[in-house]
Structures are given as structure tokens and as C-alpha cells.
Structure 1
Amino acid sequence: MRPTASLWHKLPRRSVTTVVQNDTQNLYMDHEYCFLVDTEDRPVGTASKKVCHERKYSQRPPLHRAFSLFLYAPKKDADCGSLFHELGIRSDQYMPLEHVHFLTRILYYAPNSESADQRWAEHELDGLLVSVLSHDPEANPSSVWMRCNSDEVSATRWISRSELDSLVRSDSSDGYSIHNQWTLDSLTPWFRTLLTTGLLHRVWDWAEAYWNRQSDSLRFKSENQQWDRDRIYRLSCS
């Protein structure tokens, strides 16, 4: 039987306003550094995470490198964000580096939503990574493989591809939600844009083809060749 799949994602990302109110997280934001880059992903310096997300005088924060890691679970379709700091995932145990695959990069700017503190924003040149899990993470309930940082992640949930399709077809007036929690408007801007532009489905197609590569090598070869690793997609987030 062909395995089914789901997407797992953290939604929504907490605003940095909440983050900065936590002393430990505040120290992390001040002392953890990011690479600053130009629009062609060439390094131009470094800055703290706080500087990289703070809008001073209503200006965009500096462009910096980031990554988004999508987890594909063959038994439960999945998608996600950051590793140990945000999600508590120990990559040495569950996700060795050789199982993390780079697909492409996106460049986007997205200020906090109008309901949040407008002092903060995302301005990132973001590498899209995908890892296909070799096991069902929920097969052993006693094994806690993920411990989310509540300062970084508001909620997590396994979701299916059909649920994501329903979100794309909906609009804010429909009131459609997944498990009475997620609406299209509640998604983080970068994730919503990946979804509505079809890029997320392409990531999913690649992961599914990778999982089935031994039985259908031609499909995986075709999916893999469709990704231009040198390209930078410039997204307009809203």
C-alpha cells in the first residue's frame, strides 16, 4: 500500500513581542547572531537576532539568512520550522544531517500582523529544507521526540494535504478552519505565501517522490530535476 502523508507545522509563530518579555529568550535574541546577506545571498556581516527582527523608525530590519525545515512523515503527512531551540528536536537522534535536503531559497519581507506589535518583522533569505522521516513519530507514544519552545511556537498539529487544499480554496469570509484552530489568515505570512503560490505542494511532491524513490526512481528523478538549487524566489507576502 502506498504510504499516506501529512504536514506538520507550527502555527502561528509567536510575535517577537512575547519573546522579548521573557528574560531567557531576550538574552538569546541579543546573543544569537545571524548572517546578514545581500539579495543574492552574499554575506555582508552579522547581527543579533533581535536586530534582525526589529523595525527601527518603520524601516525594514536587515536581510539575513534563515531556514525552514519541512518534515515529511510517510504515515502522517508533516511540515515544520526550526530544530532544537524552537522545537526541541535532537537532530543527532531523529534527523541526521545527511537526511536533510536543500531544495531552494526564498526572499521575503513580512511585518507582524496588524493585531500584533508592528515593531517586529521578518526579512529573510530563507533556505527551504526537507527531511523525510524514516519512522512514524507517533508510533511510540512514550517516545517524546519533540519538545516545543513555548516562546517560539504557539501550537503544532499534524495536518493532511487535503486540509491544506481546503485552506487555499477558502478565504477569510468562509470561516473555514482546521480543527477549529487554523484559518488561512492565521498562517504565518511566509507559510501562507508558500501555500498559495504552490511552492509548498512542490516540496510535498518532492518528499513523497523521495520516499518512493526505490520503487519509482523515474518519478523521483523528474521531481528532483525540477528544483533549481541556485534560484532565489522573491515572494510578496501579505
Structure 2
Amino acid sequence: MTQELTPYHKLVKSLSKDDIFERFPDVIPLERTTGEKRSDSDYEKTTDVVGSSSLFAGHDEEQIRLMAENCIVLDYNDIPIGSGTKKLCHIMKNIEKGLLHRAFSVFLFDSQNRLLLQQRADEKITFPQMWTNTCCSHPLCVPSELGFSMDSMNGTNIHSLDTAIRGVKSAAVRKLKHELGIEPEYVPASNFKFLTRIHYMSPSNGGWGEHEIDYILFVKSDGKVQANPNEVKAYKYVSAEELKEMFKCKDLKFTPWFKLICESYLFDWWKHINKLDDCTSTTINRML
């Protein structure tokens, strides 16, 4: 029996490329994207929400600066259509109107098959202080993280799943270094295993939220962790049983995407950590 779509799911599914550009005039069409990060001054001038600067009141300057990064704006089918600042993509009023972007979640296991968790820093604008998987972030709207060159924009294969996976793996290497200080030599892109994609939406605090198609990546590494305190408050390696015990603790809070992945997939994947080819899927798992 087919499950009826929620009103929000129906909205997101109904939006055409033209609809998205009409609703969100600050989204830059992909063919006009330069592949360069928008300047901080440009991002301060965005008109996505009147008075949106108040959303930054009391927040950390470095985290505010990172809101100028350009995320990959998607249609319902995970096709990149343009770029939008991290700020634009995470304002809940935009999310409620259907704005969708690409993300990735890394699950890093050591040689003992323990999962590396992080607790997000107090400084984080969205979901601060929450425990989550090893690294959760966004590929930038640049050639290396889109997975293709800007010169091939008129090509026929630039929007394939393979190119997208290549792009998010490149982004994962970058962010593991940025957040956890793990050197790229210990987590080369070729070592990551893509499992599936999760499409979810969740509000955060203070007018922010997430609406992402999230690429799930597994990697094994014993690379040294040197956490960035502006990104990571704490970290720890856990077994599957230890993670289950953490979920029982009412004092601990977890990010919504991590809870969704754990409830639906993680522990089964974990059992098959050495046979992940049996766990991969090209389907977008809709959790709206």
C-alpha cells in the first residue's frame, strides 16, 4: 500500500526549476554560477527574508562568516539547478516554501569498528551542542564538489549520481580536515563508500532549519583527531551497544538526521560493515 504524501512533501515535489527561481530570487542559476564563493558583503545584502540579520544576533562571528558559503540548490530529483548561500538555504521561512539543498553525512569507523561521534560546538548556529555522526556538512557549489567542471555545463552526463558522489566525497575530505583535523592522507576520497541518500526536513532553533538530500558515506580510518573547537565541543568513539545506551540517556540530545538514520538504517549497516556492497541503494529515501 502506497503511503500518502504529506502536504509538505507534495509541495516540494511540485516545484519546477522555474518555480524555485521565482520563489527564491537569490538563488543563482547553475549556468551563471562562477564556481567562486560569494563575498561576505554580498551575503550581507541578500534579501531572502526582511530583517534576517536579526537571526544572527548573539552568534559566533566565524559561524556567521561560514553562512556566506554557497550550497548546491536542488530540484526534487536531486538535480543541481543553482547555488544559494548557506544562510539562504537554512532559513526556516525559505525551507517552508520548499527550498532544498545537497548535504552529506560521514560515518567514520576505526579499525575496531567503533563509530566516531561528535558533539556540535556551542557556537554552531543550527543544532548546537547536539551529538551526531562523525561529520555532517554541505558540498559547495564549486566544480570539484559538484563533481564536474563548469566547462561541461552543456554536456549530457553532468547530473549523474556518479558525479554527485564524486563531489560529495571531495567535500567530505575537506570538512573532516576542517572540523576534526583529520588529514586527507588518512581519508582519501577513494576510501569512502556511498550507501544511499536521505531526503528530510527539520526545524532547528531561532528561525533556522534543514531541508536536504543527504548523501551517506562510510569510511574506515585511524587518522588522528585534532578537533576544531569552533565546530566540535567533544568527540568519542563508540560501539553499537554504547551508542544504543547513549540514546537511552534523556540528558543527551541528537541531531534529527542522525536519529533518522540510526532508527532506519545504521545498526543494520554496522552489522555488515565489511560487506557494504549489499547495503547500497541508488534510491532517494524520502522522510518528509
Per the normalisation by structure 2, the TM-score is 0.55
- Counterpart of 1:215 in structure 2 is none
Asked if 1:192 is matched to 2:259, the reply is yes
Question: Displacement, 1:166?
Answer: 3.5
Asked if 2 retains the 8 angstrom alpha-carbon contact of 1:60 and 1:123, the reply is no
**Distance of 2:56 and 2:236 partners within structure 1:** 21
Aligned position for 1:202: 268
**Cα offset for 1:155?**
2.5
Give the alignment partner of residue 67 of structure 1, picking from 97, 104, 129: 104
| CA 1:49–1:22: 2 relative to 1, 3 Å | same
Cα–Cα, structure 1 residues 196 and 42, in superposed 2: closer, same or farther, change >3 Å? same
Alignment of 1:49-88 (within 5 A): 49-56=86-93, 59=96, 62-75=99-112, 77-79=114-116, 80-82=134-136, 83-88=176-181
Instruction: Find the residue that maps to 2:93 and give its secondary structure.
Output: coil
C-alpha change, 1:202 and 1:76, in structure 2 (3 Å) is: closer
Does the aligned pair in 2 maintain the 1:54–1:121 contact within 8 Å? yes
- Asked if structure 2 preserves the Cα contact closer than 8 Å seen for 1:66 and 1:126, the reply is yes
> Does the Cα contact within 8 Å between 1:106 and 1:127 map onto a contact in 2?
yes
Percent identical pairs in the alignment equals 32
Query: For 1:85-234, what aligned pairs fall within 5 Å after superposition?
Result: 85-91=178-184, 93-112=185-204, 116-117=205-206, 119-133=207-221, 135=222, 137=223, 145-167=224-246, 170=248, 176=249, 182=252, 186-197=253-264, 199-207=265-273, 209=274, 220=275, 223-228=276-281, 230-234=282-286
- Say if 1:70 and 1:81, in contact at 8 Å, map to a contact too: yes
Whole-angstrom distance in 2 between the partners of 1:189 and 1:98: 28
User: Does the CA contact (< 8 Å) of 2:56 and 2:64 recur in 1?
Assistant: no
The structural deviation recorded for 1:164 is 2.4
SS at match of 1:66: strand
Distance 1:131 1:85, change over 3 A: same
**Does 1:25 pair with 2:63?**
yes
Higher RCO structure, 1 or 2 (CA under 8 Å, sep 6+): 1
Relative to the length of structure 1, the TM-score reads 0.66
C-alpha RMSD of matched pairs (Å): 2.6
Cα–Cα, structure 1 residues 19 and 72, in superposed 2: closer, same or farther, change >3 Å? farther
SS state at 1:163 partner: helix
Which structure dedicates a bigger proportion of its chain to helix?
2
**Residues 73 and 100 in structure 2, CA contact (< 8 A), matched pair in contact too:** yes
Matched, 1:235 2:235: no
* Inter-partner Cα distance in structure 1 for 2:57 and 2:284: 29
Unpaired runs of 5+ in structure 2? 1-54, 117-133, 137-175
Local SS of the residue matching 1:106: strand
Q: How many residues align?
A: 178
